[in-house]
Amino acid sequence: MHGYMFLNKFVNNDSIGNSILASLAWGYEEGKWFLGILEKTRGIYRIPWLFGIFIIIYLACTVMLVVSIFEIKSKLYCIMISFLMVSFPSLAYIFGFDFVSDTMIAALLLSTSAVYFTKKYKRGYILGAFSLMLSLALYQSYIGFTIGLCLILMMKHILNESNNIKNIIQYAMQYVLCGVLGIIFYLISVRLSLIYYGGSLRSYRGIDQMGRIPLDMLPSLIKKSYTTFFDFFRNTERFFYVSNALFYLYCSVFILIIYFLIKIVIINKVYKDYFKILMLAGFLLIMPVGLNIITVIAPQNNRNTDILKSADISNISEISNIPDVLDVSNITDFPDALVIYQFILAIIFVFVLCEIYISACSSSIQNKKGKNFVLLSKWVVIIVTFLIGHNYWLTTGLYYFKAHIYYERTYAFYNRVLARVEETEGFRKDIPFAIIGQTPDLLGFNESNQQISNIIDRRGYNVQFIGLNLLDSPWRRGRSTQFISEHLGVELKLATEEQVAQIIETEDFRNMPIWPEKDSVAMLDDVIVVKLNPDPIILIEQIDGRLHLIESLIPNVPEDFLYEWHIYRGDTRIDTIVFEPGRSSFEYEFKEFGNYGVIMYVRTQDNESFISEVWSGWLEYEP
């Protein structure tokens, strides 16, 4: 099912500029110091089929460990668990970021190993903690997978009639020790890696602020984690397309889970021990939070500001991210498809319960009718989960199809650009080159997503020409030049930001038509310029003194759509206006000297992304 990705070469918004070589030596700046070490096992060349081999091995081992941890005996159940874990659409999104895809699956394997070692050996929590440390040093989000495994195991221990309270508490202490020691080991290792490399943590997705949560915000963050968890199973257009059939399949899984729990509690007489009942209810209650723990411990996980770049560049790999001011009161972002793989455990839970139910019934049910009913329940679980896995398979295939189509469109676009550039009078390879402007006809481009509308979370593939939806910045221009170099084999010299700034102010540039018109590629001031849409999409205009008007200039946006605005002074976000209907303009005071800029997001009333990100450019304000 993933062979389509492993045997082809696609790019997305992150990988468009480094699709041949991609070193992971930067990992320590995001607390992922093990990336650089693991990279040595497969090199820095991005070879899809080679990464695919590592991924297949890591995934196979992960599935085997999950089956072993839950002591699944049915061969059919083992096959179905494998099918679900391999087909879950988050993997397709992960594989789209191929330069780190194998390391992310290695992190998943290590997070599973942590629980396996803790459960199997007497003092396995020490080895488990070390494994968890390595997992966090590759990809922090899979701590939710570790927690989910532990919670299901604890409920399994509780439902086992042979376990007394003392045994259950001992099991719980081992898992807690594994988690606490693993996090301590990880924090120490991050500190040591920063000392060794002489760097500091970046603000990427809030990694430098992880765990620094005001206590008064915990209730809203916990509520958000529940909302995110249940939104996955409803047709809310949040993560993956949920058809009516898939929604009812999810409902069937939850009904089966409730049925099995009730029957096991009755048959194994768990109801006689009130403490067990309270513990079981507690673990069930916290399971959504445990699986979605990243929402709680990293609420400033805001990917949208990560691609705002302001510095001049000569080497694309040296760009750093702009830090955010942590302001959890204005958090509106939700986890995306990359960080919810652990939700698959909510479905795997039904296999665990069904096996406990069958085992309990084998000794308590003697009549043929009762045994047939137990056998029927087993096959109901298989059929329901197979249909869910089939839906995941279709979503995965559609995502890869979209990646293929968008890559071909992007390749064709840059091929046309290069042909026009080479036809420009006076062209030489040593002449600086720049694509200036944002995506032409922004809203018209977004309509391309309707061609493949069942891909809801468009992470990495926002519009049909990959990378052109990114902010008009040195970073984006560098990526465009690098794509031409790596995929078309032509080295072009990137114009400096000083040259671009001077060209934008010239009358000749203002009079140039917009791509793809005849003269939209021209030589200006010894720079070959491709002009996209240079018109401001966001207006920042001084009204009086400190007071400025900030306004969206995008036409034909319905009045009830929701706007969010992020306001920057230099490299710091100083204010956020959360999604409000019809807030297409507002007045704002700039209180001190500096360069100010604004990022705007627009969503429909159904909370679906309409415009993923628009940057205003900088305005220098002097009081």
Identify the CATH number of the domain in which residue 567 sits: 2.60.40.10
Q: What is the per-residue pLDDT across 422-442, written as a single tens digit (0 to 9) for each?
A: 999 888 888 998 888 765 444
Rounded to the nearest 5 degrees, what angle is found at the Cα of 94, between the Cα atoms of 89 and 99?
155
For residue 509, what pLDDT band results from cuts at 50, 70 and 90?
confident
| Residue scoring higher pLDDT (225 or 469) | 225
- Residues 158 and 218 grouped into a single domain: yes
The token pair that represents 76 in the structure block: 């059919």
- Residues 341 and 473 grouped into a single domain: no
Q: What is the per-residue pLDDT across 130-176, written as a single tens digit (0 to 9) for each?
A: 999 999 999 888 999 999 999 999 999 999 877 788 888 999 999 99
Helix ranges (H only) for 97-163 are: 98-120, 124-136, 143-159
Residue 460 has pLDDT above 70, yes or no: no
Mean pLDDT of 543-569: 85
The token pair that represents 68 in the structure block: 């072993």
Q: What is the per-residue pLDDT across 537-547, written as a single tens digit (0 to 9) for each?
A: 788 888 888 88
Residue 564 in domain:
yes
Highest mean pLDDT among 131-135, 319-323, 572-576: 131-135
For residue 82, what pLDDT band results from cuts at 50, 70 and 90?
very high
- Residues 425 and 556 grouped into a single domain: no
- Residues 487 and 350 grouped into a single domain: no
- Residues 428 and 506 grouped into a single domain: yes
pLDDT at 322: 32
Q: What is the per-residue pLDDT across 181-205, written as a single tens digit (0 to 9) for each?
A: 999 999 999 889 888 887 777 655 5
Residue 306 has pLDDT above 50, yes or no: no
Domain containing 193 equals: 3-292+335-402
Residue 328 has pLDDT above 60, yes or no: no
Residue 413 in domain:
no
Residue 360 in domain:
yes
Task: Tell me phi and psi for residue 542, to 5 degrees.
Answer: -75, 130
pLDDT at 321: 34
Q: Which of 481, 514, 531 is the last residue of a domain?
A: 531
pLDDT above 90: percentage of residues in the chain = 29
- Residues 513 and 560 grouped into a single domain: no
Cis before 513? omega within 30:
no
The token pair that represents 214 in the structure block: 């005001």
| Residue scoring higher pLDDT (88 or 560) | 88
For residue 444, what pLDDT band results from cuts at 50, 70 and 90?
very low
Closest by CA position to 470, among listed 269, 253, 308, 259: 308
Do 379 and 328 contact (CB within 8 A), yes or no?
no
Q: What is the per-residue pLDDT across 335-360, written as a single tens digit (0 to 9) for each?
A: 677 888 999 999 999 999 999 999 88
- Residues 563 and 468 grouped into a single domain: no
- Residues 423 and 276 grouped into a single domain: no
| Residue scoring higher pLDDT (111 or 545) | 111
- Residues 488 and 549 grouped into a single domain: no
For residue 316, what pLDDT band results from cuts at 50, 70 and 90?
very low
Residue 411 in domain:
no
Q: Which of 505, 531, 557 is the last residue of a domain?
A: 531
Residue 18 has pLDDT above 80, yes or no: no
- Residues 556 and 501 grouped into a single domain: no
- Residues 509 and 439 grouped into a single domain: yes
pLDDT at 345: 95
SS (H, E, C) 479-543: HHHHHHHHHHCCCCEECCHHHHHHHHCCHHHHHCCCCCCCCCEEEECCEEEEECECCCCEEEEEE
Q: How far is CA 501 from CA 109, 309, 312, 509, in A?
A: 48, 15, 11, 11
Q: How many domains does the chain have?
A: 3
Residue 542 in domain:
yes
Least confident among 52-56, 310-314, 508-512, 611-615:
310-314
Residue 382 in domain:
yes
Residue 483 has pLDDT above 50, yes or no: yes
- What is the rounded CA–CA span in Å between residue 56 and residue 70? 21
- What is the rounded CA–CA span in Å between residue 178 and residue 188? 15
Residue 441 in domain:
yes
Least confident among 207-216, 266-275, 402-411:
207-216
**Chain mean pLDDT for the chain:** 81
Residue 45 in domain:
yes
- Residues 350 and 439 grouped into a single domain: no
Helices 274-291 and 165-197: crossing angle in degrees, nearest 10, is 20
* pTM, rounded to two decimals: 0.79
| Residue scoring higher pLDDT (190 or 241) | 190
Q: Which of 402, 430, 460 is the last residue of a domain?
A: 402
